[in-house]
Amino acid sequence: MKIEKGKISGLHLMFSVSCFLQASTLLTSFFVSISKRDSWIAVLIACVAFLPVLWVYLRLMESHPGKNLFEINDAVFGRIAGRIISAIYTSFFLTLTSLNLRDMGDFVKQTIMSRTPYVVLIGICMVMSAWDVHSGGLRQITKFGFAFTVTSLFIVIFTTVQTAGQMDLNNFLPMFDMPLETYAHSANIILTIPFAELIVFLPIFCNMENPKQKLRKYVFGGFAIGGATLLLVTLRDTAVLGNTMDFFAMPAFETLRMVSLTQTLSRMEILFAFILITLLFFKITWLYYITVISTAQVLNFRDYRQLVLPVGMIVTVYSFILYPNVLAHIASGREIAPLLWLVCEVFLPAVTLLVGKIKKAIRSARPSGGGTAAPASNNDPSF
Amino acid sequence: MNRHLKKTVRALVCFLLLFGLTGCWDSRELDTLSIVTGVGIDASRKADQLELTFQIGKTEKEPGKEASGGTGSAFLLMEASDPNLLSGMETLKFQNSRALFLHHNQVIIFGKDLAEKGIKSYLDIFMRSHETRMEVWLLVADGDARSILKTETQQDKISAVSITRMILNQRKVSQQTGVNLLNFTSQLMDKTISPTALMIRNIEQDGEKKLALCGLAVFKDDVMVGQLDNYLTEGFIFGAGDVTGGIVNITAEKGTASLNVVKSQCKLTPILSGDGSITADMKIKTQLDIGEIHGFQDMNLMQVEPVLKDYATRDIEMKVQSCFAETQRLNADIYGIGAAVHRSDQKEWKSMEDIWHQIYPKIKLSLDVQVEIRGTGKISDSLTMKEGQS
């Protein structure tokens, strides 16, 4: 049974992926505080390290054509075990939604509206998202992707040009000066926090129009745009802020504060605030939508719209109680999340793919009756 | 019925959302703010106290009312003494009908007494607060910061604004002179670089008080240890990077001349020799234009040019060498030679980093100044030179 029946075009999917990644690129302090001026190297390492993960995701989708993540779980692990695993994914998506909502609330509260109650900031965002999820659904949400991606790319490039005068290329030197585990740690954070969060697209990859050929192309294209934005932002911040970069909770925000081409073209941080809120809104809406359809799928609802409000309430409350303060949030983002999330983001999909392959191999070996179970996975007719 | 209800609910939701978009909780009206243009921090006579001065720009007078009101100054000063910056600002709340607004702060000025005790701990608030920017200029007053902020400058009425313009003019000559909070913190965080900050002092001319930039304050860690006067500062900017303005004055036997600096570049490479000694290799390439010539009778420009070149080279060499010697005396690596060693030779650096203060005074300077005279202005030979030739 499919919860979402709408179809989206490949381009929409691509821009949703890139937009989703860009929403995280602006909050770089998690890894910048660890790998400092060599952060861009960590970004490159993470980009390379993510490719096999992306391959697992795409392979998983391709080996079960027309099925979404939850149907694959059911098919591979059986009804009960499959449901349990789907429930784990769902709770992960729920946590992600709350975390991003929290990020958005923290950002607005700390930088722009310091006296506005948290609940108002979050509440308004959630009302908008709920409306979007309820009335718009998949097609409407993904339509925004293109506009948001282009806007944020434009702003990132525009501000890079503007801060060019403040850049000092010596800030990148000396390179490779830190112990190896620093790079590993930092790359791990980049891999788990923005990149592998793309797992939230697994439930809807099957909703793409004629997915057979182009899925890889579009998903990779989206990832390339998102990754390039992250790299550009990291390079720009390093060049401008130098060794003070790891001080700030939001290096990109501080970089834009430095912009002053002339007296009139300064105070550009509002652009950052604008684009960050826009992108985070997209990300929250997307995660919210995915959480709602996952919950509907796990609990056997026919129409996911009934779940929009209950899930929204849980997300809102959850975002309040997630962390007692910013310090705990940062500590968790640095130490716990990169390891714990790997379970959902990499381990589970990989296991699913592997078990699926083995089952298929056994099944195809059984009718022929031969003791030599052929490794049939590669010439499987389904792809 | 149901459709009506739906419509009403939708309209209500839209209406309620409107309230959220105004951001009323954080509204700040211009007439409820005291816009801080400069912050002065001085040491107090009492131990552990700070004398804080906030310069607050007044908004322009309404055009019609000018005749009736007296000619008050364009700013007012608010003062507080408190051990901490933030609590000092808090006490001002009780004396002020408006809230201090730091977004447009232009300068932070430290009094010399305080700078000599160390200023690291006072920078925290300027980095932490969401109202402040890293591009604010950092200065040290030769004297107390309060009197600097108190000075009424003539053209730009608010002295903090006037100081900012002065710094921007300086930076057109060299980026090394004007130091903002970001530069300062960045230098401070690098263990071996000694931060610098522009110094400013009050001068009196014909009974009128004026402000003048007077060289650089040199810090060791966050403690001010010395001062470079304008002459040494020139030496510093020639040795520290690109220079795109300024003047080289020369006095030769037969006449004097002023040469405009068109462009000067310095390449600094530390050379590590086997016995552990370090030579700082500075290659300075300067392009000059002739700005003004006196004397040099009986000579034409072709003959004068090598003389000018020779003297200009010696003049720049002098400045750079005396500045370098002074920094070695202060043991303050303001050029960032340590950082350059770190960039070029990471392995050696590990053994040097902790004893850099012992190494720096022993560094040898190998200086190579190349001067080129490019332009002569609108004329070639000067009037005095023509006299002799005829």
| DSSP line for B59-115 | PPPPGGGTTTS----SEEEEEEEESSHHHHHHHHGGG-SSEEE-TT--EEEEEHHHH
Sign of the torsion angle spanned by Cα atoms A315, A318, A320, A325: negative
| Interatomic CA distance for residues A76 and A55, integer angstroms | 19
**Structure token pair of residue A254:** 């501080």
Hey, are the CB atoms on A243 and B190 less than 8 Å from each other? yes
Sign of the torsion angle spanned by Cα atoms B180, B186, B190, B191: positive
Hey, are the CB atoms on A113 and B186 less than 8 Å from each other? no
**Which of B88, B73, B171, B173 shows the shortest CA–CA distance to B122?**
B88
Cβ contact B149:B105 at 8 Å: no
Cβ contact B54:B36 at 8 Å: yes
| Interatomic CA distance for residues B85 and B50, integer angstroms | 8
Nearest to A120 among B20, B133, B182 (CB): B20
How far B383 CA sits from the closest chain A CA (Å)? 42
Hey, are the CB atoms on A257 and B133 less than 8 Å from each other? yes
DSSP secondary-structure letter at A205?
G
Adjacent-strand bridge partners of B80:
B52
Adjacent-strand bridge partners of A84:
none
| Interatomic CA distance for residues B187 and B123, integer angstroms | 13
B342 neighbourhood in chain A, CB within 8 Å? 174
Find all residues with CB under 8 Å of A107, minimum gap 6, and list them. Answer: A27, A250, A273, A276, A277, A280
Hey, are the CB atoms on A257 and B134 less than 8 Å from each other? yes
> Cα B23 vs. chain centroid, distance in angstroms?
37
**Structure token pair of residue A267:** 């105070």
B50-57 and B33-43 beta bridge pairing: antiparallel
Cβ contact B239:B196 at 8 Å: no
Q: Which residue in the block uniquely carries the two structure tokens 């107090």?
A: B44
A120 neighbourhood in chain B, CB within 8 Å? 20, 25
SS3 A262: coil
A vs B, Cβ pairs < 8 A, gives: 55
Cβ contact A248:A151 at 8 Å: no
Q: What is the pLDDT of residue B322?
A: 92
Element (H, E) at A148: helix A137-162
**Structure token pair of residue B27:** 């509204």
B33-43 and B223-228 beta bridge pairing: unpaired
Per-residue H/E/C for B348-362: HHHHHHHHHHHHHHH
SS3 B156: coil
Q: Does B25 touch chain A (CB under 8 A)?
A: yes
| Interatomic CA distance for residues A66 and A83, integer angstroms | 19
Chain A residue with minimum CA distance to B180: A258
Helices and strands (H and E) in chain B: how many: 13, 13
Q: What is the pLDDT of residue A232?
A: 92
**Which of A227, A214, A116, A65 shows the shortest CA–CA distance to B23?**
A116
Which pLDDT tens digits describe chain A residue by residue (383 residues)? 566 777 888 888 899 999 999 888 767 888 888 888 888 999 999 999 999 999 998 888 888 887 888 888 888 888 889 899 999 999 999 999 998 998 888 888 887 788 888 888 888 889 889 988 988 888 888 888 888 999 989 988 888 888 887 888 888 877 887 888 889 988 988 888 888 888 888 888 887 776 566 788 888 899 999 999 999 999 998 998 888 887 788 888 888 877 766 666 667 778 888 888 889 999 999 999 999 999 998 888 888 888 899 999 999 999 988 888 778 887 887 788 888 888 888 888 899 889 888 888 888 887 654 444 444 444 444 43
Q: What is the pLDDT of residue A261?
A: 66
CA angle A298, A304, A309 (to 5 degrees): 105
Cβ contact B188:B223 at 8 Å: no
Nearest to B346 among A116, A123, A177 (CB): A177
**Structure token pair of residue B380:** 């070639």
Cβ contact A275:A250 at 8 Å: no
Q: What is the pLDDT of residue A223?
A: 92
Q: What is the pLDDT of residue A138?
A: 85
Hey, are the CB atoms on A127 and B26 less than 8 Å from each other? no
**Structure token pair of residue B291:** 């700005």
Hey, are the CB atoms on B25 and A116 less than 8 Å from each other? yes
SS3 A250: coil
Interface test with A, best of B25, B102, B172 (most A CBs within 10 A): B25
| Architecture of the domain spanning A10-365 | Up-down Bundle (1.20)
The order of strands in the sheet holding B278-295 is: B247-251, B255-272, B278-295, B364-375
Nearest to A244 among B26, B182, B339 (CB): B182
**Which of B147, B152, B148, B150 shows the shortest CA–CA distance to B71?**
B152
Which pLDDT tens digits describe chain B residue by residue (390 residues)? 678 888 898 888 888 777 766 667 777 777 888 889 999 999 888 878 889 999 988 876 555 444 444 456 788 888 888 888 888 888 888 888 888 888 888 899 999 989 998 888 888 888 888 888 888 899 999 888 888 888 888 778 888 888 988 888 888 888 778 888 888 988 888 888 889 999 998 888 887 888 888 889 999 888 999 999 888 988 898 888 888 888 888 888 888 889 888 888 888 888 888 777 888 888 999 999 888 888 888 788 888 888 889 999 999 999 999 999 999 999 888 888 888 888 887 788 888 888 888 888 888 888 999 998 888 888 877 777 777 665
Helix/strand/coil percentages in chain A, nearest 5: 80, 0, 15
| Interatomic CA distance for residues A102 and A105, integer angstroms | 5
pTM over 0.90: no
Type of residue numbered B371? V
| Architecture of the domain spanning B230-390 | 2-Layer Sandwich (3.30)
B25 neighbourhood in chain A, CB within 8 Å? 113, 115-117, 120
Sign of the torsion angle spanned by Cα atoms A231, A264, A105, A123: negative
Interface test with B, best of A119, A126, A241, A244 (most B CBs within 10 A): A244
Q: What is the pLDDT of residue A243?
A: 82
B223-228 and B208-220 beta bridge pairing: antiparallel
Find all residues with CB under 8 Å of A367, minimum gap 6, and list them. Answer: none
> Cα B213 vs. chain centroid, distance in angstroms?
9
Chain B stretch 304-363, residues whose beta carbon is closer than 8 A to a beta carbon of chain A:
339, 342-343, 346
Q: What is the pLDDT of residue B69?
A: 43
Q: What is the pLDDT of residue A4?
A: 73
**Which of B205, B139, B147, B206 shows the shortest CA–CA distance to B170?**
B139
Find all residues with CB under 8 Å of A159, minimum gap 6, and list them. Answer: A236, A255, A256, A259, A268, A271, A272
Q: Does B190 touch chain A (CB under 8 A)?
A: yes
Sign of the torsion angle spanned by Cα atoms B167, B172, B177, B183: positive
Q: Does B127 touch chain A (CB under 8 A)?
A: yes
Chain A residue with minimum CA distance to B10: A131
| Interatomic CA distance for residues A110 and A128, integer angstroms | 21
Find all residues with CB under 8 Å of A317, minimum gap 6, and list them. Answer: none
Helical pair A79-111 and A269-298, crossing angle rounded to 10 deg:
160
Residue B164: how many CB atoms within 10 A of its CB? 20
How far B292 CA sits from the closest chain A CA (Å)? 33
Element (H, E) at A90: helix A79-111
